[in-house]
Chain A
């Protein structure tokens, strides 16, 4: 406990430097902005801004990128409530009750509980990260290559199982991602694999190119094909405070949402969207006011908003302790760390205390900032929606182009990104999810390394993965998750939860 406080104090020392505070604020502002704007999400934005962070120190870079992610969870609620227009997937359910509340003249209350619930959940999430970090790190340090391989396999399978749409296609996309991740120089023999003699590919396919192309560029084209329907703000915000009755009803929902979100955030493939859907379903069933759902029940705002923010925080846990990304945003964080020369994994706490504790402290500071940014400035954020998409998308495109070029000062990366843009468009049309592919791409090379080491140590006997107890349990869970999805009943429930 004492070391935890000492460590947190150290973290606040790092986070309170003028530069880190500034970049935390920038991250939160950008996050809120993209949260408000439909059609651009955290994955695209973070890949867009990755190149900009290279000049920064690793800690500063990660603090800003993290701010974008959890900032987007705050921003998304604003337009959901006021305009029935979710800026992010994770705030789709907020439209259900939040917009109804706004129509009932309680917009201010809905916005307030969304922000306060998010803040509370964010605080709890941050404490969880801080408390569980060192413990999980201890456990992880005792892991051999067997455990790592099984853990990553479990992560990939759960992320595929929880992905939208067909589980089978999601698994295929994971495997395709693993395959793409193998392009480049083989670490152990130095042999070039699948590079076709292209020197630019000898370090592998550019991670930023894939993320930008499949999430940024492809999204632009899909958005252009969808006619946009934006309505002006008609609802009055009203008082930004809750009545006593509302406090009483919302508090348990915030608590439940925080608990559920914290758990779902840690799961691979979980993250904010799943958490908010899950919480909405739970509130409808567990709340005393379940019958009011659909007419503007405050529980339906408080629970999901707390859940998505808690999940946004706790999804950092597997990344910071095991080096394993839980979702596509975290996969980008892995990329950012590797580009900075830091190998994410259990040694990060020891080797990079500034980064680890600084990030945790900055998350809490960022949550305070978001509370301030959001509530009084709501009018400004809603104004942002008046920027038409025809000005927005060429701007996104040009930032992508310059950003990806500046990675290696090579136009090859620009063309590569454009090609992944086309590929991402095709995948979207065929309902092949890009997120599992990105996670597979990041984890693939790590899995290969652990697999090789494990099999060498085990003298080529694959049974070792089952015989090692922790590894065996992890594989067992993976198998159960897969089998569970074969049951039509469960699958239907998942589809309902993710339908949005």
Chain B
């Protein structure tokens, strides 16, 4: 047996989608008959087929290796687990709060943002986490903080993902992008969004 770790992990990922999809479909949707298909018929075919394919990928992955994944260090594992845990927990807790914090997808935004920051502790996830964190921060800030602040913070966080970045360069980039985005999205395309912070 020559294990192909990439294929085995792929199979696990695909199988998860297949099982979850198949299960939700069986619970929620009427399947119908081949002649009169219900809303659940096509999902049943698709996820059933996906499960079969995932199984094939798994079986072949047992023999067509070796194609190992780069091993994860302890920090890598802990950071990713803590990040996911924090993201889920924060989203969950905030969603149950009364008031503004549970609306406008703030729970998901804060959850993802904190989760990414935690994952960024491990060097392996840092680039991924910081780019995603920057984008998520844009979503969090936009409504209350306005477009310009959101641009500044998004670039400020995402720019740190590249080690060669300089503070001066990042500030110049922020100013340039604020002008450019104002021109493209506000002046030319006139999208409906607050520009300045709302109090």
Contact = CB atoms under 8 A, between A and B. Distances in A.
Interface in A71-89: none
Contact of B159 (A394, A399, A419, A430): A394
Contacts of B89: none
Contact of B142 (A175, A411, A432): A411
- Dominant SS at the B interface? helix
B50 A172 contact: yes
A448 to B, nearest CB: 4
A409 B136 contact: no
A7 interface: no
Contact of A175 (B46, B127, B134, B169): B46
A13 interface: no
Given A394-B158, A448-B42, A52 B189 contact: yes
Contacts of A395: 173, 177, 180
Given A414-B136, A462-B34, A398 B181 contact: yes
Interface residues of B, number: 76
A418 B113 CA distance: 10
Interface string B71-97: 000000000000000000000000000
A10 interface: no
A182 B155 contact: no
A452 B155 CA distance: 47
A409 B193 contact: yes
Contacts of A179: 17-18, 21, 43, 46-47, 50
A401 B14 contact: no
A191 to B, nearest CB: 5
Interface in A407-465: 409-412, 414-415, 417-419, 421-422, 425-426, 429-432, 444, 447-448, 451-452, 455-456, 459-460, 462
B42 A401 contact: no
A397 B134 contact: yes
Interface of B: 6-7, 9-10, 13-14, 17-18, 21, 24-25, 28-30, 33-43, 46-47, 49-50, 53-54, 56-57, 60, 69, 104-105, 108-109, 112, 127-128, 131-132, 134-136, 138-140, 142-143, 147, 150-151, 154-155, 158-159, 161-162, 164-165, 169-170, 173, 177, 180-181, 184-185, 189-193
Given A412-B105, A415-B109, 10 more contacts: A193-B28, A194-B21, A224-B131, A224-B162, A389-B162, A393-B158, A395-B173, A397-B155, A430-B9, A460-B33
